[in-house]
Amino acid sequence: MIEKIGQKKEVYSLEELSPLPEGLKYFACIGGNKNFECFLESTSLSRAVFMEKYLSELDKCHIPIYEDENIRIRQDAQIAIPGFYIIATRKIYKNISQMELDTYQKCLYFVSLVRRGLKENFGIERAYMYYDEHYNKPSSTHFWVMPIYDKIVEENNLNVTILSKDVWKYQELFEFSKTKEKIYEINNEMKKTLIKRR
């Protein structure tokens, strides 16, 4: 089978994807009728540019819950934790020191709004907030707000901290085919919350 740019495959697990020639990769996004929709693209494409290019073909969970001229907020592309949001700038920054102070402050302000909305609307008592830099690949600095669902943590006897590998195990427990309705519900409510409070 000849692989073509833009070709889409739906899979339950990323392990189902076959190796690709050099210069090509699959951009895997939660969505579709299984757990992931995977689009074949060039390795030179950043995640942000990919999301912009394919937005109309992606699952509706990826529609931003907030966007303006500087930032965009949406469900994490690959991890199906309901309410796991990425706050990203439209402009590409390799690290936080390149970011204008007002842009940085705006990101932190929206991180705070997202966190408050998750607690007030959905009773999420814990969330981890991370700042992620990328140096060697075409992507930009961004912020995470990752809800911690204590029931899941307790049921699986996890120690979900940044210093523990359990944080990755925790993320893998959420399958889009099982969490998509909750993702849609939280997205709808959070969109209203952010419009009201911005």
Measure the CA–CA gap between 91 and 46, rounded to whole angstroms.
Answer: 12
Taking Cα atoms as reference points, which of 93, 87, 92, 91 lies closest to residue 66?
A: 87
Give a yes or no: residue 38 inside a domain.
Answer: no
CATH number of the domain to which 78 belongs: 3.30.428.10
Give a yes or no: residue 183 inside a domain.
Answer: yes
Backbone phi, then psi, for 26, in 5-degree steps? -95, 130
Residue 39 and residue 27 in contact, taking contact as beta carbons nearer than 8 Å: yes
**pLDDT tens per residue across span 29-56:** 999 999 999 999 999 998 888 998 999 9
Measure the CA–CA gap between 194 and 74, rounded to whole angstroms.
Answer: 12
Residue 100 and residue 90 in contact, taking contact as beta carbons nearer than 8 Å: no
Q: What pLDDT does residue 1 have? A: 52
* pLDDT > 70 in the chain, percent: 96
Give a yes or no: residue 143 inside a domain.
Answer: yes
**Strand boundaries in 104-193, DSSP class E:** 126-132, 142-148
Give a yes or no: residue 193 inside a domain.
Answer: yes
- Render each residue's pLDDT in the chain as its tens digit; 198 residues: 557 899 999 999 999 999 999 999 999 999 999 999 999 999 999 888 899 899 999 999 999 999 999 999 999 999 999 999 999 999 888 888 889 999 999 999 999 999 999 999 999 999 999 887 766 665 678 899 999 999 999 999 999 987 889 999 999 999 999 999 999 999 999 999 999 887
